[in-house]
Amino acid sequence: MKSKVAYTDESSVHQSYPFQVVDGSITTPKGFTAGGFHCGIKKKRPDLGAIFCSVPATAAAVYTTNCFQGAPIQVTKESLAVEGKLQVVLINSGIANTCTGKQGIMDAYAMRREAAEVFGVEEHLVGINSTGWIGRLLPMDTVLNGIKQLPSYVSRDGSDGFNRAILTTDTFAKTLCVKFQIDGKEVTLSGSAKGSGMIHPNMATMLGFITTDAEIEHEALNQALKWVTNETYNMITVDGDTSTNDMVVVMASGLAGNHPLHVNHPEWHVFMSAFLYVSQELSKMIARDGEGATKLIEVTVKGALTKNMARSVAKSVVGSNLVKSAIYGADGNWGRIMAAIGYSNQPINPNQVDICVGDIPLVKESLPLWYDEDRLQQYLRGSTISIEIHLNLGHEQATAWGCDLTYEYVRINASYRT
């Protein structure tokens, strides 16, 4: 599968890549509308939203690997199993509907039925998402009444309401839109995500929604999502906790008018490049918005024997609480990085590891180098910290993203329910 990794600023156009970042949202692709509002699950913030497609959209999803999966995941899996299409994606925030037994499952089905009725679609074309407090039943009278009102909030201009309705402890909405050409037709792909805590690289650890008007075969879309997930959403960590509810859903309306995309399509790499870039940027936004975070940490591992080795080492380092704490304190303690490499459970040669922070080499062949401590500390006071590790074993590489560990993280999670 050919795909290019794009590292461009969100507001710029990079001529090396076959897409353009534009001012848009999940409603920019043809056929999509969205919206959200406060229905009463939370005290006052938006808590109910939906994406609607004017036609049944080819769809695929990936789910958290936590064995305690929320009731909405079961319902969404059943919906997609019918014909691989969705027309409505419904989400509530505030209550996760997880560990709620048979009643929770019944409530998720009731949400699907109500959404199907008010949007005028078949039940299996509705996907359900919930996020928030675990072990608490949804106030179903409030939720069902809210679903009845949702169509009046769903529009081409309703993406901001949707983006705010999916948030929990997030401090900002995460969204991105790109345009590109397939078969001479303009195609748009957009994403919206939430995620701030309970983020760990073990699929999916977030809620992500991707919309596109590309025409694409279902199996190709499913493969694309799984591949992109391993490169992006599976490479972020905030706190080492894998959530119970989270998923990434992609919907393709097919209204752009291109020939159906598949892995052998001559412009498949164009679609994959755009899909990868949007997902990568959403992942970085989630990592940057980690609960209490002040810094984005990017760890790139090069010279690995296998892709899995590179990924494992990168995630081990970016997930280390000691590394995260040192970054917060602008402490250039590279020994913590080395220790995290060592316990990654990979066949590292302990005599040939190189470490660089920013553009400052700290370690060569596993031995310390002289460096300017003041210069390093000044770099570590920045908002984006890059760590490059070279294992000097092979040619594979991978990048993982995370954030620093702060006093504020403890404060937020010590009072999550109160």
Rounded Cα distance, 37 and 150, in Å: 8
* Beta carbons of 108 and 128 less than 8 angstroms apart: yes
Check if 205 is active-site: yes
Q: What are phi and psi of 89, to 5 degrees?
A: -120, 120
The token pair at 6 is 């794009």
Rounded Cα distance, 409 and 387, in Å: 22
Q: How many CA atoms lie within 13 A of 139 on its CB side?
A: 12
How many other CB atoms are there within 10 angstroms of residue 3's CB atom?
19
* Beta carbons of 256 and 188 less than 8 angstroms apart: yes
Rounded Cα distance, 254 and 271, in Å: 13
Q: What angle do CA 389, 201, 68 make, to 5 degrees?
A: 160
Rounded Cα distance, 90 and 88, in Å: 6
Which residues on adjacent β-strands are paired with residue 188? 179
Rounded Cα distance, 5 and 213, in Å: 22
* Virtual torsion, Cα 26, 31, 37, 41, nearest 10 deg: -90
Which residues on adjacent β-strands are paired with residue 387? 299, 357
Rounded Cα distance, 216 and 183, in Å: 13
Rounded Cα distance, 73 and 92, in Å: 13
Residue 203 is classified by DSSP as S
Catalytic residue among 205, 229, 237, 399: 205
Give the residue carrying structure tokens 């706190």. 239
Rounded Cα distance, 224 and 179, in Å: 18
Helix/strand/coil for 320: coil
* Beta carbons of 147 and 140 less than 8 angstroms apart: no
* Virtual torsion, Cα 146, 285, 14, 248, nearest 10 deg: -50
Kind plus residue range of the DSSP H or E element containing 221: helix 218-231
Give the residue carrying structure tokens 């969205």. 34
- What is the set of active-site residues? 205
